[in-house]
């Protein structure tokens, strides 16, 4: 456990160093593209390892597929620096009167390289990144007879755990000028897809500051994908001066 925490700390430090270096490079003179987006998609995790503990307790196992919704912002020239946050939601599962709900949140800092000419109205960039996440598991009894409820309160048990994941993927954005948008502002559409690898040990959970050991085994590793839509802006940076806008032909 201590070794995994140490490895996680080292990896996180390396990512932070890379990001600061990237931001330093990005802060130089020249035209830059900045923007923000909202996205919707899904992730595919292997939840089969949760089955033994949940089934023995009388609860159904969540499906592998989870929906995601979130957003992010980025700065781009040749180098692409991106930060995003996403919510994850699995479809509730029921086994008799017992219900299983699994949901969470994840964040990521990504660094990529645009492999297309930078004067094109599109960008295609492979990227790497990392980020923290938190998952919550709710085990809930949906109905009970009055007498049973008085004698033994219905089950409603919440557990949570943290995770740390590395990412590798590819992003694509296409920008187009719309008549209703002000000068130097563009509509942007695209996608993000890739694989995330959870480097943490997720056998243990926490509930009301009590550590729950040997719980359902969830590892948030798997493929993900989403479509994104947002707005982008063309800016021109001068050293020692605030950024200003410059007319860009669309």
Structure tokens at 79: 């180098």
Render pLDDT for 114-146 as a digit per residue (tens, 0 to 9): 999 988 888 999 999 989 999 999 998 877 777
Spatial neighbors of 66 by CB under 8 A, at least 6 apart, are 42, 43, 44, 45, 88, 89, 90, 102
The dihedral through the CA atoms of 210, 215, 216, 221 has a sign that is positive
Render pLDDT for 63-111 as a digit per residue (tens, 0 to 9): 999 999 999 988 887 888 899 999 999 999 988 888 999 999 999 999 9
Residue 73: HSE in the Cβ half-sphere, 13 Å Cα cutoff: 3
Structure tokens at 44: 């595919």
Task: Give me the chain's average pLDDT, please.
Answer: 80
**0.85 surpassed by pTM:** no
pLDDT at 2 exceeding the cut of 60: no
Contact in structure between 45 and 64 (CB atoms under 8 Å): yes
Q: What is the mean pLDDT of residues 3-18?
A: 57
Banded model confidence at residue 19, pLDDT cuts 50, 70, 90: low
* CB burial readout 61-100, b (16+ within 10 A) else e: bbeeebbbebbbebbbbbbbbbbbebebebebbeeeebbb
| Residue at token pair 């931001």 | 23
Top pLDDT among 114 and 185 is at 114
Structure tokens at 188: 């942007």
Q: What is the mean pLDDT of residues 201-218?
A: 79
pLDDT at 14 exceeding the cut of 60: no
Banded model confidence at residue 199, pLDDT cuts 50, 70, 90: confident
* CB burial readout 218-241, b (16+ within 10 A) else e: bbbbbebebebebebbbbbbeeee
Going by DSSP bridges, is the β-strand pair 122-141/93-95 parallel, antiparallel, or unpaired? unpaired
Top pLDDT among 111 and 243 is at 111
Question: Which among 202, 239, 230, 215 is positioned nearest to 54, based on CA atoms?
Answer: 215
At 1 the pLDDT is: 47
Report all structural domains of the chain as residue ranges with CATH numbers, in order of start. Answer: 2-237 (2.40.160.20)
Banded model confidence at residue 200, pLDDT cuts 50, 70, 90: confident
* CB burial readout 151-162, b (16+ within 10 A) else e: eeeebeeebebe
| Residue at token pair 């992730």 | 43
Banded model confidence at residue 179, pLDDT cuts 50, 70, 90: low
At 246 the pLDDT is: 45
């Amino acid at each position: 456990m201590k070794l995994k925490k140490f490895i996680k700390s080292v990896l996180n430090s390396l990512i932070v160093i890379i990001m600061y270096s990237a931001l330093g490079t990005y802060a130089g003179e020249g035209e830059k593209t900045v923007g923000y987006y909202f996205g919707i998609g899904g992730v595919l995790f292997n939840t089969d390892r949760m089955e033994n503990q949940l089934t023995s307790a009388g609860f159904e196992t969540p499906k592998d597929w989870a929906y995601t919704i979130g957003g992010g912002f980025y700065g781009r020239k040749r180098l692409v620096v991106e930060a995003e946050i996403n919510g994850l939601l699995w479809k509730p599962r029921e086994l008799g009167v017992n219900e299983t709900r699994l949901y969470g949140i994840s964040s990521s800092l990504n660094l990529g390289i645009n492999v297309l000419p930078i004067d094109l109205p599109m960008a295609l960039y492979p990227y790497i990144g990392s980020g923290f996440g938190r998952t919550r598991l709710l085990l809930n009894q949906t109905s009970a007879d009055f007498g049973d409820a008085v004698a033994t309160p219905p089950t409603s048990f919440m557990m949570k755990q943290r995770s740390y994941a590395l990412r590798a993927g590819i992003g694509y954005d296409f920008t187009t000028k719309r008549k209703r948008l002000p000068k130097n502002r563009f509509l942007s559409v695209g996608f993000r897809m890739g694989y995330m690898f959870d480097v943490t040990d997720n056998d243990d959970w926490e509930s009301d500051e009590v550590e729950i050991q040997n719980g359902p085994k969830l590892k948030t590793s798997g493929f993900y994908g989403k479509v994104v839509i947002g707005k982008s802006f063309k800016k021109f940076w001068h050293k020692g001066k605030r950024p200003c806008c410059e007319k860009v032909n669309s």
